[in-house]
Amino acid sequence: MILVTGGSGFIGANFIVNWFSENEEPLVNLDKLTYASNQENLKHLKKSDNYFFEKGSIEDFSLVSALLEKYQPRAIVNFAAESHVDRSISDSNNFIQTNILGTHTLLKASLNYFEKLKGSEKDNFRFIQISTDEVFGSLKDKDPQSSENSPYFPNSPYSASKASGDHLVRAWHETFGLPTITTNCTNNYGPFQHEEKLIPLMISYCLKGKKLPLYGDGSNIRDWLYVKDHYDALCAVLNNGAKGETYNIGGNNEIKNIEVITQICNLLDDLYPKKNGGSYSDQISFVEDRLGHDYRYGLDISKIKNELGWSPKENFDSGIKKTIEWYLKKIK
């Protein structure tokens, strides 16, 4: 049995769906069901004997402790978070609550549980913290990609809250011996993502004939990872990752935002041509830049490649096509 938190959000739901397509091991999902969650994506698992859902928050120590006693998981994968940078700028409270205080509470409950385990159950237990490349801060064009040894330089309330959570995870390993592993991942895309995030927002606005709002001059660079590749990487970490280590997970696809949008428009021009002719790229509209907008993120993923044998299977061309086809199927 594994315990997943935040499994009703984008990456968590993909993780759970992929898990049950490959495993029979039971899984329990603890999710607070915030605006970012969507239970529809997991509806088909309701009848499964191996899937359990618990509504609640990682900030609730009694609940988390009771669930750990009840389900006796061999691992915890902590996806639960507030995850949207723009929201963290307009109101940071929930980010501090969940990403810092929630992670702290989850760590305390996990340590109590871990300390009661014995023998191989204790040896094999893992706490996996899902984090982001944003904690490393902004890179310049010529800077080398961030490695696991790069210092944390978070710039937004979101990345600062994730960085704080990660530091607590590290401390619970170093101070108390909790067998933790932290993964830092680049931007994910694929099925089930909330419409407020760049790629689904652009696809949806294209199809609605709305302007495509692009921050600044569109030159900001992100690395993009297809969400199924993230799942595969996390399985490699769960199975073979070393206690106390951190692993970067990325797609080897550093792309300017304007190129991401242009590629979406070009693909939609082919797959779903506009009724009145013209290109979806005519809808692109530059808007005032986000406050403190980091210029570039990029991760060196050689450690996970060399030590755990994982590398991404999708490139951006193949992954974005799959993603757009999935959204088109959904609206038909």
For the annotated catalytic residues, the residue numbers are 133-134, 158
Q: Which residues of 233-255 are buried (b: 16+ CB within 10 A; e: fewer)?
A: bbbbbeeebeeebbbbbbbbbbb
Report the residue from 59, 229, 294, 314 that binds ligand NAD according to the rule CB under 6 A.
Answer: 59
One-letter amino acid of 270? D
Contacts of ligand NAD in 92-111 (CB under 6 A) = 98, 102
CB 204, min distance to ligand NAD, A = 16
- What is the rounded distance in angstroms from the CA atom of residue 180 to the CA atom of residue 295? 30
Angstrom distance (rounded) from CA 218 to CA 224: 16
**Site mask for ligand NAD (CB under 6 A), range 179-198, x = bound:** ------x-xx-----x----
| Residue 36 near ligand NAD by CB under 6 A | yes
Under a CB-based contact definition with an 8 Å cutoff, are residues 8 and 30 in contact?
A: no
Task: Locate 285 and state its tokens.
Answer: 């509209």
Among 31, 148, 223, 229, binds ligand NAD (CB under 6 A): 31
Does the protein bind ligand NAD through residue 263 (CB under 6 A)? no
161 contributes a contact to ligand NAD by CB under 6 A = no
Q: Do 286 and 218 touch, CB atoms closer than 8 A? A: yes
**298 sits near ligand NAD (criterion: CB under 6 A):** no
Residue 132 makes contact with ligand NAD by CB under 6 A: yes
- Determine if 34 is a binding residue for ligand NAD (CB under 6 A): yes
239: left (phi over 0), alpha (psi -120 to 50) or beta: alpha
Pairing of strands 221-226, 254-256: antiparallel
Count of positions (residues) in the chain: 332
Task: Give the interface segment with ligand NAD, choosing from 73-81, 140-148, 169-177, 264-272 (CB under 6 A).
Answer: 73-81
Q: Which of 83, 88, 164, 263 binds ligand NAD (CB under 6 A)?
A: 83
Considering the rule CB under 6 A, would residue 79 count as an interface residue with ligand NAD? yes
Q: Of residues 77, 85, 130, 202, which one binds ligand NAD by CB under 6 A?
A: 130
- Strands (E) located in the chain: 2-5, 27-31, 51-55, 75-78, 126-132, 180-185, 187-189, 212-215, 221-226, 246-249, 254-256, 284-287
* Contacting residues toward ligand NAD, per CB under 6 A: 5-6, 8-12, 30-34, 36-37, 57-59, 79-81, 83, 98, 102, 130, 132, 162, 185, 187-188, 194
